[in-house]
Amino acid sequence: MTDFAAIILAAGKGTRMKSDLHKVLHPIAGKPMLMHLLDSFAGLSPQRTVVVVGDRREQIDAALEGRGITTAMQDPQLGTAHAALQAKDALSGFSGNILICFGDCPMVEAETVRKLTAALDGGAKVAVLGFRPEDPLAYGRIIAQGDGTVVKMVEFKDASETERAVNLCNSGLIVAHSDDMWPLLDAVDNNNAQGEYYLPDVATNAIARGDKVVVVETGADEVAGINSRSELAGAEQRWQAARREQAMADGATLKAPDTVFFSHDTQLGRDVTVEPHVVFGPGVKVANGVHIKAYTHLEGADLATGVQVGPFARLRPGAVLEENSFVGNFVEMKKATLGKGAKASHLSYIGDATVGANANIGAGTITCNYDGYFKYHTTIGERAFIGSNSALVAPVTIGADAIVAAGSTVSRDVGAGELRMVRAEQLVKQGWADRFHDTMKKKKAAAKKDGPSKDP
């Protein structure tokens, strides 16, 4: 493949999003749409990538820090062709194919770009990406011959009735070799109603000078632009639907697929069962044979083979469940490891902790890991038994085979094999309850006899 560079246009204000966050940084499946595009292009090994910025440049610069990607400023904003020209200095000395695309079209795939660049090998000077939406609306039209040679590109407002009847639309993506791209961009003028320099005129001018321009087609979803919260939700919906199908194709069972939500980096093994209303946040790895029950939320968690989780469980970043361990309903884990075969069946918080193999965490157990200033660690040994409603005040270690009696507050280490019982002595007052009930019954009867209170 010829050397490749990408120019991503992201200088627009994104006013329809009505957000303080730059439009291209709004996430799909937990990843900013710009990063979806960049990660896709990474498979093409671009020599250079330039993101053209404008409004809220600092946000994009911060998001791109450390990625080796250049930004170029467009100010003032005079149209898409003008925006692309702002990358010229950053691509000085580069010789190869240049793709120009939009940061708010995040689902463009590397294979589609390969097809675009390959189209230049047949003698074309410019390749454009077209699509056929269900409703062409006011998209610009591509008038092409049967072999894909473009005869004309026309904006909807300038199209004739015959041209508007064509459903091949312009996505805006365009590829040309640098030797052709820069002269064609320089030749674009602003002789139009808006007084702007439009990117499609690169192809129009190429046709006018006798160059061959070809169109490559793709699906409408791949090039759908995102300009509003509604369109963002639509893109999320399409991404999730595709990811669910992929999960099932890879051997996972989704009981109610439409209610399961994945992150961009969710990893699922084979024979995983996911019940309804499960949400995967970023950083979740699930091994083979795991069962995730309904209404469970996972983020930054690592689940080994044979693990069961939920229902109504929450696994936060740093949660590690080793083979055949079990977390039940209303259990929350954070930065904690549950050893092989260990169980926390219900109503517990396990934070900043290591739980040994085959240990049992009783209902209502809490690792008290925070003193308002610092976090502390709790270590629970193998086969230890923590009774219900226990509070383990970190830092504390519970030894192997130790038992913590129900209702205990443990603030000192418990040795291996010990029983630790921390309870106040029970006080018994014979007959007290009977006398109390008699007294209160008499008061209530007297109140009824005297009638309603006359207090103001």
Residue 363 and residue 131: Cα distance in Å, rounded? 57
Q: Is 104 annotated as a binding residue?
A: yes
Q: Look up tokens 């007052």; give the residue.
A: 429
Question: Which of 26, 346, 377, 437 is flagged as catalytic?
Answer: 346
Q: Is 85 annotated as a binding residue?
A: no
Residue 83 and residue 89: Cα distance in Å, rounded? 12
Q: Between β-strands 253-254 and 273-274, what pairing exists: parallel, antiparallel or unpaired?
A: parallel
Secondary structure (DSSP) of 302-336: EE-TT-EE-SS-EE-TT-EE-TT-EEEEEEEEEEE
CA-to-CA separations, 165 to 69, 141, 160, 235, in angstroms, rounded: 41, 9, 9, 27
Q: Is 363 annotated as a binding residue?
A: yes
Q: Is 170 annotated as a binding residue?
A: yes
Q: Is 197 annotated as a binding residue?
A: no
Q: Look up 346 and say whether it is catalytic.
A: yes
Q: Is 89 annotated as a binding residue?
A: no
Per residue in 369-400, is it b (16+ CB within 10 Å) or e — as a string? beeeeeebbbbbbbbbbbbbbbbbbbebbbbb
Q: Is 360 annotated as a binding residue?
A: yes
The answer to whether 43 touches 112, Cβ cutoff 8 Å, is: no
* Nearest C-alpha neighbor of 380 from the set 349, 363, 359, 395: 359
Q: Is 220 annotated as a binding residue?
A: no
| CA 198 distance to own-chain centroid | 33
Q: Is 389 annotated as a binding residue?
A: no
Q: Is 205 annotated as a binding residue?
A: no
Q: Is 149 annotated as a binding residue?
A: no
Q: Is 72 annotated as a binding residue?
A: no
The answer to whether 381 touches 359, Cβ cutoff 8 Å, is: yes
Q: Is 140 annotated as a binding residue?
A: yes
Q: Is 227 annotated as a binding residue?
A: yes
Q: Is 430 annotated as a binding residue?
A: no
The answer to whether 24 touches 103, Cβ cutoff 8 Å, is: yes
Q: Is 12 annotated as a binding residue?
A: yes
Q: Is 335 annotated as a binding residue?
A: no
Q: Is 388 annotated as a binding residue?
A: yes
User: Around Cβ 16, how many Cβ atoms within 10 Å?
Assistant: 14
| CA 174 distance to own-chain centroid | 28
- Alpha-carbon Rg for the chain in angstroms: 32
Q: Is 155 annotated as a binding residue?
A: yes
Q: Is 190 annotated as a binding residue?
A: no
Secondary structure (DSSP) of 218-271: E-GGGG----SHHHHHHHHHHHHHHHHHHHHHTT-EESSGGG-B--TT-EE-TT
Q: Is 23 annotated as a binding residue?
A: yes
Q: Look up tokens 């709004």; give the residue.
A: 26
* Nearest C-alpha neighbor of 29 from the set 279, 200, 255: 279
CA dihedral for 280, 283, 284, 285, sign (positive or negative): positive
The residues annotated as belonging to the active site are 346
Instruction: Write out the binding residues for UDP-N-acetyl-alpha-D-glucosamine.
Output: 9-12, 23, 74, 79-80, 140, 155, 170, 227, 316, 334, 349, 360
Known binding residues are 9-12, 23, 74, 79-80, 104, 140, 155, 170, 227, 316, 334, 349, 360, 363, 369-370, 388, 406, 423
Q: Per the annotation, where are the binding residues for acetyl-CoA?
A: 363, 369-370, 388, 406, 423
